[in-house]
Structure 1
Amino acid sequence: MKKVNGHEIISLFEQWSPKRFAEDWDPVGLHIGQLNRPVEKVLITLDVNEKVIDEAISEGANLIIAHHPPIFRPMKYIWTDTPQGRLIEKCIKHDIAVYAAHTNLDVAPGGVNDLLAQCLHLQQVEVMEPTLSDPLYKLAVFCPVDHADNLRAALAHAGAGAIGDYIGCSFSSTGTGRFTPIAGAEPFIGKVGNEEAVSEERIEVVLPGPLKEKVLKAMLASHPYEEPAYDFFVLDQRTEEFGLGRVGKLDNEMTLEEFALFVKKAFDVPAVRVVGELNTRVRKVAVLGGSGSKYIRAAKRKGADVFVTGDMDFHSAQDAEMMDLGIVDPGHHVEKVMIEGVAKKLEDMCNDMSYDVTFIRSAIDTEPFRFIM
């Protein structure tokens, strides 16, 4: 097993949940400390409070990955006699780095919203509110015919040419390339000052936007020419949509009252708030972790009978009622499903890389509300 530092762990994590998935207002990323240190244990938590920091110290964890950013609003000062300042001070004194993945983890396939949909056993799941989709690019590159096979293989290895269930897809055409090396050049073919005509292939491959830099590096590393000729074209087609929330169907239709009790059990919460007639039939469900008041119309547009989300405010609940959209509010804290989900995902990713690191699931209950029944 290989010793690892914080940068390597977060680099893996961001392959799954990249920062570009986050909303513009969301302060995701490293909040406290540094990543350029060896890491043996990582604590996964929904929130960061002083009890969680004490847990990390007790467990010997020197990296915390949290869902909710501990520094959500800009700070002008760090006063260590305040709760937030004391938390930051304790992290620094104990060399604990804190990294936050918030709306990017909501959007990520297999992230918070998919985990919530799994808890509800939803089928035929799709994105509720699309927030981004990546452009497709086409790379056209010219190289000597004798080197075309090697270059195609390098491009495929970097991920270019993957279309649906097919990999290594490309198109080639042949022609004649002409060039004249001038003083200072070190040509692979020909001599300085001589015009050259070379039989070349034009190789075309498609690739998603996030792979552009990786594919470019692979192409330049594998191309025999000192100055290869190539073009990137942006295509009209897009890759899969990413976004907030999920919509899916229940295995069996039930009443809103039955569904509310099902949600209460599925998320292990002491109570849920419900909007709508309790005898209404429910089959199609929208779910969104966190605060979902402003997404009731997105849920309705997707044809949902009921919307499961937290922090539903009074007026949004009235609006949902008027549009015949049921609401089940189990609270914001159901996002705690990310603790096990993130830990398991990172364990699998780090095992594949032979990283010697342990992931600890936080046992601290950070739910601020208490229910008196």
Structure 2
Amino acid sequence: MTALDARYPRSWAESWDKVGLVLGEFDHPVARVLCVVDCVPETVDEALTLGADLIIAHHPLLLKPVSSIAPDTFKGRIVHRLIRAGVALYTAHTNADVANPGVSDALAARLGLTGLRPLVPAEGAAAGEGRGLGRIGELAEPLTLATLTQRCADSLPWTAAGVRAAGDPEREIRTVAVCGGAGDSFLADATRAGVDAYLCADLRHHPVSEHLAGGGPALLDVAHWASERPWLDDVAAWLRAEFPLDVVVSDLDTDPWTVHSAFVKETHP
């Protein structure tokens, strides 16, 4: 816990966030770790099957206050199962988003971006040393939006949602901003930065429409899980270098969207 807290200090997290140790005994030996984006019943099954002693999750299990962890709720069942199995749970969320290297660095690396700098520089306790939310970088060579969209689909973990883009397919893209997770709150920041394209997750109809009408950069929308899954590889590599641990990265797709069916244009005028 000391090493994790030093790499992702809790003071870097947003005030509303809940990070750090969620459950577990401090003196419990740890030999095997499972890194996940979401602590959900499926990844708990995975942890117990692997015999993991610790789950490191990106998304908090208990983000909002609760008055009960009774086992007739799915979160209550998770807590009971983990305690009975002796599996600790640790969360690094917005403190890992703002870190350098952090969640968006791993996403930028998948696209081959270089010369990285924060999209929104950190303030307060996390300020300095290249920390901040999102990253801006340069492609090795300019690509059309259509080609960049396909590169994203090829470089990021597969999900049923896939990758969609908004803008002229032939637009030339050189500079790209990325943000792991939901990113429509940073649309104006991407516009001010003068990037050619901005990639994030969970984009919504009206913000995207208004952004494009206002002359903003092209947009790429990916599944939330897919945008944050690359960070797990970085965490795992660091843990293996620091400790004699067996570290497993979960490739279990926890994106809630599981079916995608494309329209046939000829039948939908």
* TM-score normalized with structure 2 length: 0.90
Q: Do the aligned residues in 1 keep the contact of 2:5 with 2:20 (CA within 8 Å)?
A: no
| Equivalent residue letter for 2:173 | V
Name the counterpart of 1:328.
220
Name the counterpart of 2:120.
129
Q: Do the aligned residues in 2 keep the contact of 1:132 with 1:241 (CA within 8 Å)?
A: no
List runs of 5+ in structure 1 lacking aligned partners.
1-9, 135-209, 211-237, 351-355
| Equivalent residue letter for 1:368 | P
Name the counterpart of 1:272.
163
Give the alignment of 1:102-113 within 5 angstroms.
102-113=93-104
Please report how far the alpha carbon of residue 357 of structure 1 lies from its aligned counterpart in structure 2 after TM superposition.
2.4
**CA-to-partner distance for each residue in 1:101-150, whole Å, 9 max, x for gaps?**
0111111112211001101111111011012266xxxxxxxxxxxxxxxx
RMSD: 1.7
Q: Do the aligned residues in 2 keep the contact of 1:320 with 1:326 (CA within 8 Å)?
A: no
Q: How many percent of aligned residue pairs carry the same amino acid?
A: 33
Q: Do the aligned residues in 1 keep the contact of 2:56 with 2:90 (CA within 8 Å)?
A: yes
Please report how far the alpha carbon of residue 244 of structure 1 lies from its aligned counterpart in structure 2 after TM superposition.
0.3
**CA-to-partner distance for each residue in 1:156-215, whole Å, 9 max, x for gaps?**
xxxxxxxxxxxxxxxxxxxxxxxxxxxxxxxxxxxxxxxxxxxxxxxxxxxxxx9xxxxx
The answer as to 2:146 corresponding to 1:257 is yes
Separation in structure 1 between the aligned mates of residue 189 and residue 205 of structure 2, nearest angstrom: 18
Name the counterpart of 1:346.
239
Separation in structure 1 between the aligned mates of residue 106 and residue 90 of structure 2, nearest angstrom: 20
| Equivalent residue letter for 1:260 | T
| Equivalent residue letter for 1:336 | R
The answer as to 2:168 corresponding to 1:282 is no
3-state secondary structure, aligned to 2:131: strand
Separation in structure 2 between the aligned mates of residue 86 and residue 239 of structure 1, nearest angstrom: 41
The answer as to 2:208 corresponding to 1:317 is yes
Name the counterpart of 1:101.
92
Please report how far the alpha carbon of residue 241 of structure 1 lies from its aligned counterpart in structure 2 after TM superposition.
4.3
Separation in structure 2 between the aligned mates of residue 114 and residue 57 of structure 1, nearest angstrom: 30
Query: What is the number of equivalent residue pairs in this alignment?
Result: 257
* TM-score normalized with structure 1 length: 0.66
The answer as to 2:108 corresponding to 1:117 is yes
Distance 1:265 1:363, change over 3 A: closer
Please report how far the alpha carbon of residue 296 of structure 1 lies from its aligned counterpart in structure 2 after TM superposition.
0.5
Name the counterpart of 1:75.
66
Name the counterpart of 1:365.
253
3-state secondary structure, aligned to 2:123: strand
Q: Do the aligned residues in 1 keep the contact of 2:166 with 2:219 (CA within 8 Å)?
A: yes
Separation in structure 1 between the aligned mates of residue 225 and residue 154 of structure 2, nearest angstrom: 14
Give the alignment of 1:53-202 within 5 angstroms.
53-132=44-123
Name the counterpart of 1:50.
41
Separation in structure 2 between the aligned mates of residue 100 and residue 56 of structure 1, nearest angstrom: 15
| Equivalent residue letter for 2:172 | R
List runs of 5+ in structure 2 lacking aligned partners.
262-269
| Equivalent residue letter for 2:76 | G
